[in-house]
Structure 1
Amino acid sequence: MKKIWLSVALASSSLFLTACNDDHDDTSVIVIDDGIPKYDISQPLVVTPENYTLSNMTAVAGQSVKMTYKMLGVNGSEVQATSLLFTPKTAPPITGWPIVVWAHGTTGVADVCAPSKAPLNIYIKGMIDQLLAAGYVVVAPDYEGLGEPSENEAHPFLNLQSAAFSITDAVVAARNYLGNQAAKQWMAVGHSQGGHAALGAAQYASRAQLDYKGTIAVAPASNLAAILIVGEEQAAQETDLESKISTFAMLDTYTALITAGLRNKNPSLTYQQVFKSPTDEIAALADTECSDVLSESLVAAMGQYAAGNGWSLDAYPRTQSNFLSLPEVSQFLSKDSQPLQVKVNQPVIIYQGGADAVVPKDATDLLLSGVAAKQSSIQYHADATWDHGTAYVLNIPNIVKDVQSLMPIQ
């Protein structure tokens, strides 16, 4: 199986690189040293933070607020962004509370899918409770394009730089709001899409011009082309119809979210170029609905088709045969979405489950086999019994200990 993953990755890279270019022509920001644009937003906090009351944090948090501020968007201009911010009940140390960024998993690309618009997941709340009790500020950004209905912009799903700037700019906004109550030390923790974002923060940490201490990434998304290609092959061989539909729906959900996010920078890209009819109409729900509704709609359509075709998905119209080679898609898959393409300077800790069907362990193994990853300081914790959810849930106590080890309270 590992040989299959390696061969798919190599083949997809050679295909996609023919369409790649270094199209980073932003001239509206200051670029120094490592080529990463440094934080230069004149009004980082543009709206007074509002209380976040959807989850009861009063027992452990001194403040629970939703910030609205400016960040540097994927198109090179400043856009409004939102983030949750929680502070400990205890007094800050002399140097201020260190900051932990929580990078959330996939919710969708439509504004309504912003995590700040919903109560905290019970496990996420539990982790935040522990971090607050240990003396850390927790910042939880929505990511670019989520949380601001006034901005007619889709979330650039799994765009590494956008995800990284969503994190760095939220940290700077939090420090501007908290003043000397916040320290310069910070780090990122994320799961799934958030693990991908946390690895992006490691690569682009210098943008914040603060003291970055490290990254904890659980089942981080990477090698998306290989995941799509190998997943397609494995699903096609699946004999259980329910499992086949479930896998195809998952793959098509992520493809739809990728397409929706790409339309931010490439408005001429259409769902019809990526999906066959009538699946293109379902995929277009990504513009307005969250990932769970999108997935359920795809499952329902495939189930209805199978029921009328001898319980078979043969000839079911899903994706276009050539969509991976579309220039916008190939650029994104081969470069714009891939973490750990350069050496990172601070420690990275990765947790990965061998039973993960969303981000397969083979994808993470392949990520860590790269030259840049080998040059970086990375601890890799893998367990054959963890799936996509339990790799995070079962390791929350370890994640908190990791934070305390990488960024002890001064």
Structure 2
Amino acid sequence: MPLIVMSLALVAGCSTSEPPRPAGDSPVVRSIAPPFDGSAQIPTTSASTGGTGPGAVVSTSILEDNTELQDVDAKAIRMVFRSTEGTGGKPTEVSGLVAIPPGVAPEGGWPVIAFGHGTTGVLDKCAPSQFDTLVGNGSMIASMIQSGFAVAMPDYQGLGVPGYRHPFLDGATFGNNMIDAVRAAHNLDPAIGTRWAAFGHSLGGLAAWGAADRAGAYGQGLDLTGTLAMAPPADMSGLADAAQNGTLTADQRVALIFALQTLSWSNPGFDLDRYRTPSLAQKWDLLLDCTANLNEVLKAREAVTNADLKPDTPADTTRLRDLLEALAVPKNKITGPMLLMYGTKDTLVDYRWTDAAVKRACAQGDVIDIDKRMGQGHSDLESARGLPWIKDRIDGHTADNTCPGRT
């Protein structure tokens, strides 16, 4: 069945030859053997797995059938690694992918890009690394491989490993997951270095920003050189007032459905029925599904109206706003410079919400190159400068700071 993919906004499906792993299955551990001639070799000693700290590798298996990564002769390894919840510091396990360029690593090891993928859903079965297609992320990862980077892509907590809940829009947890994916990549193959950059679009943009936000307190032992965040839902607390006022866009309604579900998991006593109509509650499971019939799911989501998602009382609106604010970035001064790209026609992340988050970040002294694209939206945000910008950061070049009043 297809996995329904969105860059937060659900717009496309991506078929796969590998069915989703049923909830409750344990991660499969297979021998670490290169699937492609000439690809990077992974040590088969026990030193590449084990341990209890963040970034320790729990299990591995080979991704063999992704065409884009085969074309660039990358070694692709599914992994489960240890990480930490952003709130409360609870130890977790997270699945993800490591992709390694062929050939001999440069001095200091392969530089790493922690790649934040866009939203695929909030259920365990929605993990991108569990699908051979990587739900459309393979071509971008292949481009990074060709540019001389190893790539570490976490699925994010709650996607791919049973027993954990996905904390949608949680910048701190996603940031920890990105950092620990880089640690896990280095633990898996010492030819992968500790110099890294964070990159992501949409939900991945939040994960990238979250990684920079968390790196100072959580990223010890790694050298974060820069962060590229594209169209990040940095602070989506505006969803609460938009729901109250009946001004949600279609994209925002889907995001709010996901947010409400995950908030109910993480906040005992949070009553979903105070934010949805009884008729919407009857379709809730279908609205959350990521592997059901694509047309059926999209039709159900398109039928949702603002009247279906109105908080019962102003107090309910306030609670929702407060809970979403708690997940937002910035919370801390970022490590390294950041290129922030977003558009003024984004129908998911209102550019004014991003403006406000940037203003807070600049006020605390963050180094940010603000690239605000007039007339561009969420999915059509042009990204040609992204990889060159990251390569400049890895090479140690100084980044521009266009925060107001700074040069």
**Equivalent in 128, 132, 137 of residue 115 of structure 1:** 128
Q: Distance in 2 between matches of 1:334 and 1:98?
A: 33
Q: Deviation at 1:96? A: 0.3
Paired AA for residue 365 in structure 1: D
* TM superposition score normalised by structure 1: 0.75
**Residue number in structure 1 paired with 2:149:** 136
Q: Deviations over 1:154-212 (max 9, x none)?
A: 31101121111111111111110011x01110111011111111111001114231111
- The alpha-carbon distance between structure 1 residues 290 and 217, as it changes in their structure 2 partners (threshold 3 A), is farther
**Which of 323, 334, 337 is residue 332 of structure 1 equivalent to?**
323
The residue number in structure 2 matching 1:99 is 112
Identity %: 24
SS of corresponding position for 2:99: strand
Over 3 Å counting, the alpha-carbon distance change for 1:387 and 1:252 in structure 2 is closer
Kindly provide the amino acid, as one letter, of the partner of residue 400 in structure 1.
L
Which residue identity is paired with 1:271? L
The Cα shift of 1:406 comes to 0.8
Counterpart Cα distance in 1 of 2:128 and 2:273: 29
Q: Report 1:56-75 matches (<5 A).
A: 56-73=68-85, 74=87
- TM-score, normalization by structure 2: 0.75
Q: Distance in 2 between matches of 1:197 and 1:373?
A: 21
Contact 1:353 1:383 in 2 (8 A): yes
Select which of 350, 360, 363 maps to 1:360.
Answer: 350
Question: Could you list the runs of 5+ residues in structure 1 that have no partner in the other structure?
Answer: 1-38, 236-246, 303-312
Residue of 176, 201, 209 corresponding to 2:187: 176
The 1:172/1:79 distance shift into structure 2, 3 A limit, reads: same
Q: Structure 1 residue runs of 4+, over 6 Å off?
A: 290-293
Instruction: Report the equivalent of 1:165.
Output: 176
Task: Please state if 1:81 is matched with 2:100.
Answer: no
Q: Specify the code of the residue in structure 2 equivalent to 1:47.
A: S
- Structure 2: unaligned runs, 5 residues or longer: 1-50, 398-407
Supply the distance in 1 between the matched residues of 2:200 and 2:298 (Cα, whole angstroms): 22
The corresponding residue for 2:391 is 404
Aligned counterpart, 1:260: 261
How far apart in 2 are the matches of 1:205 and 1:156?
Answer: 19
Amino acid at match of 1:283: W
Q: Distance in 1 between matches of 2:362 and 2:174?
A: 20
The worse-fitting range, judged by mean Cα deviation, of 214-223 and 262-271 is 262-271
Shift of residue 101 of structure 1? 0.8
CA distance in 2: counterparts of 1:43 and 1:404, whole angstroms: 24
Give 3-state SS (helix, strand or coil) of 1:334's partner: helix
Give yes or no for contact 1:83–1:116 (8 Å, CA) kept in 2.
yes
Q: Which residue pairs with 1:277 in the alignment?
A: 278
Shift of 1:229: 2.5
Q: Which residue of 2 aligns with 1:203?
A: 213
SS across alignment from 2:229: strand
CA RMSD between the two structures:
2.9
Q: Hey, what does 2:403 align to over in structure 1?
A: none
Change (3 A) 1:385 1:317: closer
| Matching residue of 1:214 | 226
Q: Is the 8 A contact 1:51 1:65 kept in 2?
A: yes
Residues 99 and 187, structure 1, Cα contact 8 Å, conserved in 2: yes
Which residue in the other structure is 2:38 paired with?
none
TM-superposed deviation, 1:249: 4.0
- Any residues of structure 2 matched to 1:336-347 within 5 Å, and which? 337-347=327-337
Number of the residue aligned with 1:298? 301
- Classify the secondary structure of the residue corresponding to 2:139: helix
What does the per-residue CA deviation read over 1:249-305, in whole Å, with 9 as the maximum and x for residues that have no partner? 433322221122123322432321321212123334455446977553132355xxx
Change (3 A) 1:171 1:195: same
Matched, 1:193 2:206: no
Higher helix share: 1
Q: 1:389 aligns with which of 370, 374, 379?
A: 379
SS at match of 1:195: helix
Question: Distance in 1 between the 2:311 and 2:244 partners?
Answer: 13
